[in-house]
Amino acid sequence: MGKKLVSTGRGGTGKTTFTTLASRFLPPPMFLIDLDPDQSLAEMLGINLKNEGIRTVSEALYDVITARRDGTGGTMSVQDRIEFMLNSQCLYEGRNFDLFVLGTKLTEGCYCAPDAIVSGAIPKVINSYQYVMIDSPAGLEHLNREVVTDIDDLFVIIDPSSKSLKHIERIKDITAAIGITYNHFYLVGNFRFNEEAKKRLQDTGEIYLGNIAYDPQLAQYNLSGKSLLDLPVDSPACASVKEILTKAGLIKQ
């Protein structure tokens, strides 16, 4: 059974960067899920979904809803049609990983329907992958959406601020209140980290795996839209992520 990993934290801390770089080191096959409406994971991975002919789950769902409304959906049941679209149009199949992007909702209301599709898809595919890794949107709201309720490793990316420290407690409270479980709760310091912030994290009593080093080349790659998969493997950010995954026991040095 594949392990479920989740990258979460406050806005702009480096969640997507962590997910992208983790995909370089975790052994394949891996399934990446982008839950952020902002859809930056594909970009950091260097994938142009449009050019690849891949649609987001929300786009596919919108088409199914529209076809049903217009009576152009054919004889296939809505459920079968969604399943067909997920497999044929929404799944990006790469060399080391496959990717699903939730996308921006195109209909009124909440993300309940696309969330339910993704959470329903995970148990069906989990045995085909060694790892399923979810890149979360900023904040805590996504936890309420309960896309995964039994996480193996929850990585909380922290910036050096008292808000981030409070965020740790709030994640624990919310997950407990809504019944999300995890085997490990890991803190990861972000690229703005310093010694004082590190000490404060260690004082929380949670497992602190280290921080992701500031990497000017990574910042440059993001600015120019280059894939982070092409960063030199010994660049500061890559080396830190490798060390963090090693400490989490997910890879061997």
Residues that bind ligand ATP (CB under 6 A): 9, 11-17, 36, 38, 40, 138, 191, 212, 214-215, 218-219, 222, 237
Per partner kind, with CB cut-offs from 5 to 8 A, the member of ligand ATP, Mg ion, none near residue 63 is none
CB 17, min distance to ligand ATP, A:
3
CB nearer to ligand ATP: pick between 40 and 227: 40
Closest approach, Cβ 26 to Mg ion, in A, equals: 18
Nearer to ligand ATP, 13 or 63 (CB): 13
Question: In angstroms, what is the minimal distance from the CB of 224 to Mg ion?
Answer: 18
Residue 209 in contact with residue 186, Cβ under 8 Å?
A: yes
Would you report the helix, strand and coil content of the chain in percent, each value rounded to 5?
A: 45, 20, 35
Residues 15-74 that bind Mg ion (CB under 5 A): 15-16
Closer residue to Mg ion in complex, CB, 64/218: 218
237 contact choice in ligand ATP, Mg ion, none (CB below 5 to 8 Å, kind-dependent): ligand ATP
Q: Identify what 8 binds: ligand ATP, Mg ion, none; CB under 5 to 8 Å per kind.
A: none
Distance (Å, whole) CA 122 – CA 86: 12
Residue type at 234? Answer: D
Q: Considering the complex, state which of residue 40 and residue 89 has its C-beta at the smaller distance from ligand ATP.
A: 40
| Residue from 53, 55, 124, 253 nearest 64 by CA | 55
What pairs with residue 33 in β-bridges? 100, 134
CB 56 within 8 A of CB 31: no
* DSSP one-letter code for 166: H
Q: Report, in Å, the least distance between residue 35 CB and ligand ATP.
A: 10
- 176: helix, strand or coil: helix
Cis peptide before 216 (omega within 30 of 0): no
Number of helical (H) and strand (E) elements in the chain, helices listed first: 11, 8
Shortest distance in whole angstroms from residue 87 CB to ligand ATP: 27
Chain residues that interact with Mg ion, rule: CB under 5 A: 15-16
